[in-house]
């Protein structure tokens, strides 16, 4: 029986939430958000048969504004307290300010400065994934660390089996583009000296690498699928919160926060 990528992510999140109490709250919200995101993605697929291809430059506001209130309702009901409050405030704000806010979050590639920005990005994520899937990427010879589709910094890395080792790629947390990137190079500053690029793993989460850079003091987590083929990069990254706390306590800043703002 075929499952959509969303259903696979939800199943993985349910599995990890049961295994890791430290991530249960965040994954519980993720599961509800992902169900909403899947619904939005399917609505976009249906409406795209009637319309021209969606433009990567400007979001389709009527389509998005129609779905935004139901996303806010999910967040108000299911998100951790701080995000739920933000959703509540947005619900009660003038809906004519929403267009500007959605457009701003769509075009601004820096990580949001506040929880509201993360909430809006989580809402827009399936839309970004959908638009990217309708606009083929030319990845031949692409070597940069920024997302080749939306220009954002990567939210995580992925190691996939290739020959005897693992090939690294980077994953955009917004449009979910994935592109190859050399393994021993810092995606933050381009540092190539391996002595300045320490990698840490924890015994409890052996398939998650915390890849640090002692030149620019950033880190990115990479999900090693050669060690755990059942992992879902996006979900396993979200679930490994203790590693973020550890890295940040040791003076490293995350290259780009994930959609839940961690």
Residues that bind Zn ion in the complex, under the rule CB under 5 A: 147, 149-150, 172, 174-175, 177, 186, 188-189, 191, 213, 215-216
- Is the CB of 28 or the CB of 215 nearer to Zn ion? 215
Q: Least distance in Å: CB of 14 to Zn ion? A: 26
Q: Least distance in Å: CB of 241 to Zn ion? A: 23
- Is the CB of 191 or the CB of 240 nearer to Zn ion? 191
- Is the CB of 16 or the CB of 260 nearer to Zn ion? 260
Q: What values do phi and psi take at 79, rounded to 5?
A: -75, 160
Q: Least distance in Å: CB of 35 to Zn ion? A: 22
Q: Are 236 and 17 in contact (CB under 8 A)?
A: no
Tell which residue, 171, 169, 231, has the closest CA to residue 205. 231
Q: What is the DSSP string of 66-124?
A: HHHHHHHHHHHHHS-HHHHHHHHHHHTS-GGGHHHHHHHHHH--SPPSSHHHHHHHHHH
Q: Least distance in Å: CB of 145 to Zn ion? A: 10
- Is the CB of 86 or the CB of 177 nearer to Zn ion? 177
Q: Least distance in Å: CB of 127 to Zn ion? A: 12
How many alpha carbons fall within 13 Å on the CB side of residue 92? 6
Dihedral of CA atoms 100, 105, 109, 113 in degrees, nearest 10, equals 110
- Is the CB of 166 or the CB of 188 nearer to Zn ion? 188
């Amino acid at each position: 029986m075929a499952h959509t990528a969303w259903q696979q992510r939800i199943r993985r999140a349910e599995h990890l939430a049961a295994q890791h109490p430290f991530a249960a709250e965040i994954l519980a919200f993720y599961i509800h958000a992902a169900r909403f995101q899947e619904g939005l993605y399917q609505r976009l697929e249906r409406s795209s048969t009637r319309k021209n291809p969606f433009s990567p430059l400007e979001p389709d506001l009527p389509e998005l504004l129609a779905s935004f209130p139901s996303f806010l309702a999910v967040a108000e009901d299911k998100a951790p307290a701080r995000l739920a409050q933000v959703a509540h405030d947005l619900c009660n704000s003038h809906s004519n300010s929403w267009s500007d806010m959605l457009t701003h979050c769509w075009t601004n590639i820096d990580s949001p400065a506040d929880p509201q920005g993360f909430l809006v990005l989580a809402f827009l994520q399936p839309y970004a994934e959908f638009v990217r899937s309708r606009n083929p990427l030319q990845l031949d010879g692409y070597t940069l660390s920024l997302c080749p589709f939306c220009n954002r910094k990567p939210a995580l890395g992925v190691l996939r089996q290739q020959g005897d080792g693992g090939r690294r790629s980077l994953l955009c947390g917004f449009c979910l583009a994935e592109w190859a990137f050399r393994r021993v190079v810092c995606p933050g500053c381009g540092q190539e000296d391996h002595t300045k690029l320490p990698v840490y793993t924890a015994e409890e989460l052996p398939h998650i690498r915390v890849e640090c850079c002692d030149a620019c003091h950033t880190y990115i987590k990479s999900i090693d699928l050669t060690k755990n083929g059942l992992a879902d990069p996006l979900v396993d990254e979200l679930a490994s919160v203790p590693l973020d706390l550890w890295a940040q306590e040791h003076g490293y800043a995350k290259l780009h926060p994930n959609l839940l703002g961690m």
